[in-house]
Structure 1
Amino acid sequence: MASPADPNRASDDLLRRVPPHSVEAEQAVLGGIFIRNSVFHTLVDSLSAEDFYLPAHQTLYACFLELYRRNAPIDLVSVATYLKDQGKLEVVGGAAYLSELAQTVVSGANAEYYSTIVRDKALQRSLIGACSDIISNCFDQSRTVEALLDESEQAVFSISERTTGKVFKSSKELVNRVFEDLTKRMERKEMVTGVTTGYNRLDQMTAGLQPSDLVIVAARPSMGKTAFALNMAMRAAVQDNVPVAIYSLEMSMDQLMMRMLCAWGKVDLGHLRRGFLDSEEWYRLYHAADVLGQAPIYIDDTPALSPLELRARTRRLKAESGVGLVMVDYLQLMRGSRRTDSREQEISEISRSLKGLAKEMDIPVVALSQLNRKLEERTDKRPLLSDLRESGAIEQDADVIMFIYRDEVYHKQPDNPHQGTAEIIIGKQRNGPIGTATLAYLGSYTAFEDLEPGLSPQPSEAGGE
């Protein structure tokens, strides 16, 4: 009976193979620079000495970089003199090899093309090196699986980042682009530059949820944090087709979808739970199911996610389906990736990681947060930044902080003029104004709506998240 293949031996065989490279492409690049120094202007930012496979070619390119830095010409005499002074002329093959490089290349015009081959081969070697490290790390049984996954994905991600280089734009290009954008804004005054919140007043104040921003939505229990965040997520996905990732650490995905169906279809959540729906409600529910069933919304209800797990799952989802908005419900239910001395330090790590995720993915991340119960002792119970629970890092890391306040939760009198309304208080906005947007709150539907001018809000059930 044949013994099973040894995976360790297979890995060793792979690592013993000759790494990807093209000596001819490397020679074409170096020879092209000899013939036409001007081509080096386009290569210096996209190609490094380490991208070359042969050590001699690495030394030569490093010499070119140094001469370029000195504003010296790159020719046979200057290169040979520099290498001789450094004691490296014979290392690269002597003056004869330099002459051979210059003579074998007919034109320097194709050096840029050949540089892409050199760079692609270097990226392949980097991937092989990263995979080798991943294999080695996986044999270390003291490492956690979460840490290994995060390090592995980060290693591959850092290599992929090298494939996109930043380039200059002329002022003429930028002026034209900015004026084109300004013209569109003049024509469409409701236009937002980020992901729409779905609410006119909020969009006016924030210009939408901006890429790389960490947005905190905080409130005391029963104010409607989850409902408000879900309403924003649904509107972004349905109206603008923005793929949304929702991490629900408190409710199951079935409960979450039930709330979303009720909010979108304007169906009484209590009726749905009890199974008593009239024909009109069933019609609206079917319509909501059809709309949300086609929306790019992805829900993960794994409890007690760590920042490493959340980041890894978001990376994978972005690679598979794209992600334009992340929602976390809620921040205090996450667990830290490592042991800390206090809960405050743990929350600080979680907050920083969510901001890092927003920057890495270049998308807005909306995280729900609890507030200290001390605000209940105040006469005016509208939240303040100092009410954020367990960590000042949340206030520091967040780009936007929104508070939800519904007066009817505290003052249940039938004649309360604020019944059926919710104040969305922007307590912090790094790049915009602070202030308050008043929305209608439809408690039986767990829905928030724009409060139209002159329209009286309807009383709602004071409660619900």
Structure 2
Amino acid sequence: MTRGRKQSVTRRIPPENLEAEKALLGCMLLDQSAFDRAMESVRKEYFSAPSHRSIFEAMAKLSDSIRKCDLVTLTNELDMTGTLDTAGGVEYLSQIIETTPTAAHVDEYIRIVRDRYILRSLIENATEIINEASGEPDEVDAVLDRAERRIFAISEDKAAQDVVQIGPLVREAVNRIETNQPTGVTGVPTGFTDLDVKTTGFQPSNLIIIASRPSMGKTAFACNIALNLLSMKPPPGILIFSLEMSKEDLVQRMLCAEAKVNLMKVRQGLISDRERGELIMAGARLADAPIFIDDSANLNVFEVRARARRIKAKENIGLIIIDYLQLMRGRDKRYDNRQHEISEISAALKALAKELKVPVVAISQLSRAPEQRGENKRPELADLRESGAIEQDADLVLLLFREEFYKPDDAEVKGKAEIRIAKQRNGPTGTIPLVFLSEYTRFENATSRSP
């Protein structure tokens, strides 16, 4: 039964529409704007017929050399490259023009040709996946990874965005302005008042970097933002990729921060009845929270994007947190250097934010440079570890610093923290004071502001 079903699938004619391919080429020969439109969004691979691929390739060469494309120049280009016969000859080129009365429907022809290509790609890749899976491979995870990569590459092609006229964007912007609450916060609020005032919240499609040296509280700060969001009505969904900490440890931290119970006492089993009650109440508040945690280790950027896309399709995800960037892998295991790999990762995270239209918060390590600065060890933007591409791709860079870490016996700095806006693409920089309650791994506003 299975074998017969396989044969019936492989014997089917691949999805194609030769008339649409022919009409698209005709539009390109008839009208310069149609030609330009197709050159922006069509590739040679989209055409099923070898003759049509040859014709389009010759058109692309004419375009690259800034030469006009018409029947004469196209025929000459095909003849010069020895592909005129493959393209069907002069007679077929003339027929293409004669059977295309107008270029008015070029966008529809582009859509049809591209959709058929995507279907063919799905069939081709699905066949490869079946063949690879049927071969009893040793590394099943590697097969799954390659399968996801293939499908993702096709979906990326389908999701390519066109240039749009400004009108719809203006209407969308005006609608956002009209619906904004008079709080000064237009994005996802962090719950840290002064930070929200300076940033207007974490904006959709933005990549936000939270960076510091180890043990400053990067994870705690990101978790505090997630907990603060739960006060919204309704709260947005929050997706956390915890590449360093297990989901059990992460939830325990969040529970103690929410309940304001000493984390070390919880780990040692030394909590009082009152503290136990606080934890139970905090657990009740968090139990139904729209927080989703993936603690898979050693994820690559492709896996993160694929998983984020799947969760976003099912849940109202409003914020993605990745802890932390340097623990991610690129798509390929072969890179010239680590900087190249980190560059790809940061670019992919920015692309993820744009695709899903949610802020993506990536926690990042800093280099050792602050340790070598003598008395003032405050981090600088240049300290972002392993790649300047992180700084380039990020819309917002927040540098976390606690002087108490370097001066544990100094009562003057005990419990004091600061978050520095080192870069903000659409707003000011500056430093915001915070309070760090180390026993609860919890950050709070340094001062309360009157409404």
In the superposition, the TM-score normalised over structure 2's length comes to 0.73
Alignment correspondent of 2:352 = 361
Matched, 1:115 2:106: no
- 2:378 is paired with a residue whose SS is coil
Alignment correspondent of 1:276 = 272
| Alpha-carbon distance change, 79 to 423 in structure 1, aligned in 2, over 3 angstroms | closer
| Alpha-carbon distance change, 447 to 112 in structure 1, aligned in 2, over 3 angstroms | same
Q: Superposed, which structure 2 residues align to 1:403-422 within 5 Å?
A: 403-407=400-404, 410-412=407-409, 416=411, 418-422=413-417
The answer as to whether partners of 2:365 and 2:385 remain within 8 angstroms in 1 is no
| Alpha-carbon distance change, 171 to 249 in structure 1, aligned in 2, over 3 angstroms | closer
| Alpha-carbon distance change, 150 to 205 in structure 1, aligned in 2, over 3 angstroms | farther
> Quick one: which of 428, 431, 437 aligns to 1:442?
437
Alignment correspondent of 1:460 = none
- For 1:27, the aligned partner's letter is K
The answer as to whether partners of 2:382 and 2:388 remain within 8 angstroms in 1 is no
- For 1:317, the aligned partner's letter is A
Matched, 1:224 2:199: no
The answer as to whether partners of 1:253 and 1:301 remain within 8 angstroms in 2 is yes
Cα drift, residue 340 of structure 1 = 10
C-alpha separation in 2, matches of 1:134 and 1:295: 38
Cα drift, residue 230 of structure 1 = 0.9
The answer as to whether partners of 2:241 and 2:294 remain within 8 angstroms in 1 is yes
Cα offsets for 1:106-149 (capped at 9, x unmatched) = 65544432332211111122233444555677799999666655
Q: Superposed, which structure 2 residues align to 1:122-133 within 5 Å?
A: 122-132=117-127
C-alpha separation in 2, matches of 1:368 and 1:90: 57
Q: Superposed, which structure 2 residues align to 1:291-302 within 5 Å?
A: 291-302=285-296
> Quick one: which of 367, 378, 393 aligns to 1:383?
378
Q: Which segments of 5 or more consecutive residues in structure 2 lack a partner in the other structure? A: 354-358
C-alpha separation in 2, matches of 1:31 and 1:334: 47
Alignment correspondent of 1:243 = 238
C-alpha separation in 2, matches of 1:311 and 1:60: 35
Cα drift, residue 205 of structure 1 = 3.8
| Alpha-carbon distance change, 136 to 356 in structure 1, aligned in 2, over 3 angstroms | farther
The answer as to whether partners of 1:245 and 1:314 remain within 8 angstroms in 2 is no
Cα drift, residue 155 of structure 1 = 3.3
C-alpha separation in 1, matches of 2:372 and 2:192: 28
The answer as to whether partners of 2:325 and 2:362 remain within 8 angstroms in 1 is no
Q: Superposed, which structure 2 residues align to 1:421-440 within 5 Å?
A: 421-426=416-421, 433-440=428-435
Greater Rg over alpha carbons, structure: 1
The answer as to whether partners of 1:402 and 1:424 remain within 8 angstroms in 2 is yes
Alignment correspondent of 1:71 = 68
Cα drift, residue 440 of structure 1 = 2.6
- 1:355 is paired with a residue whose SS is helix
Cα drift, residue 21 of structure 1 = 0.9
Matched, 1:58 2:53: yes
Cα drift, residue 294 of structure 1 = 3.4
| Alpha-carbon distance change, 94 to 127 in structure 1, aligned in 2, over 3 angstroms | same
The answer as to whether partners of 1:331 and 1:350 remain within 8 angstroms in 2 is no
C-alpha separation in 1, matches of 2:92 and 2:373: 83
Alignment correspondent of 1:201 = 194
| Alpha-carbon distance change, 369 to 64 in structure 1, aligned in 2, over 3 angstroms | closer
The answer as to whether partners of 2:335 and 2:341 remain within 8 angstroms in 1 is no
Cα drift, residue 163 of structure 1 = 1.8
The answer as to whether partners of 1:408 and 1:420 remain within 8 angstroms in 2 is no
- 1:438 is paired with a residue whose SS is strand
- 2:158 is paired with a residue whose SS is coil
C-alpha separation in 2, matches of 1:276 and 1:255: 21
C-alpha separation in 2, matches of 1:214 and 1:149: 30
Cα offsets for 1:269-327 (capped at 9, x unmatched) = 46765453439x73x6555445433333222334xx3252x641442232233565443
Q: What is the aligned-residue identity percentage? A: 29
- 1:315 is paired with a residue whose SS is helix
The answer as to whether partners of 2:59 and 2:69 remain within 8 angstroms in 1 is no
C-alpha separation in 2, matches of 1:447 and 1:189: 24
The answer as to whether partners of 1:237 and 1:243 remain within 8 angstroms in 2 is no
Cα drift, residue 331 of structure 1 = 5.8
Cα drift, residue 392 of structure 1 = 4.3
Q: Superposed, which structure 2 residues align to 1:258-273 within 5 Å?
A: 258-267=252-261, 269=263, 273=269
C-alpha separation in 1, matches of 2:423 and 2:33: 50
Cα drift, residue 238 of structure 1 = 5.8
Alignment correspondent of 1:306 = 298
Alignment correspondent of 1:154 = 149
- For 2:192, the aligned partner's letter is Y
The answer as to whether partners of 1:228 and 1:448 remain within 8 angstroms in 2 is yes
Alignment correspondent of 1:461 = none
Mean CA deviation greater in 196-205 or 211-220: 211-220
| Alpha-carbon distance change, 168 to 24 in structure 1, aligned in 2, over 3 angstroms | closer
Cα drift, residue 329 of structure 1 = 4.0
The answer as to whether partners of 1:35 and 1:102 remain within 8 angstroms in 2 is yes
Q: Superposed, which structure 2 residues align to 1:152-191 within 5 Å?
A: 152-170=147-165, 188=182, 190-191=184-185
What is the RMSD computed on CA atoms of the aligned residues?
A: 4.7
| Alpha-carbon distance change, 386 to 18 in structure 1, aligned in 2, over 3 angstroms | closer
Cα offsets for 1:142-198 (capped at 9, x unmatched) = 99666655544333323222223443345677677667767878x7452245x4333
Cα drift, residue 231 of structure 1 = 0.6
C-alpha separation in 2, matches of 1:180 and 1:5: 54
The answer as to whether partners of 2:421 and 2:431 remain within 8 angstroms in 1 is yes
Q: Which segments of 5 or more consecutive residues in structure 1 lack a partner in the other structure? A: 456-465
Cα drift, residue 53 of structure 1 = 0.9
| Alpha-carbon distance change, 352 to 90 in structure 1, aligned in 2, over 3 angstroms | closer
- 2:109 is paired with a residue whose SS is helix
C-alpha separation in 1, matches of 2:254 and 2:362: 17
| Alpha-carbon distance change, 277 to 330 in structure 1, aligned in 2, over 3 angstroms | farther
Cα drift, residue 247 of structure 1 = 0.7
C-alpha separation in 2, matches of 1:128 and 1:286: 52
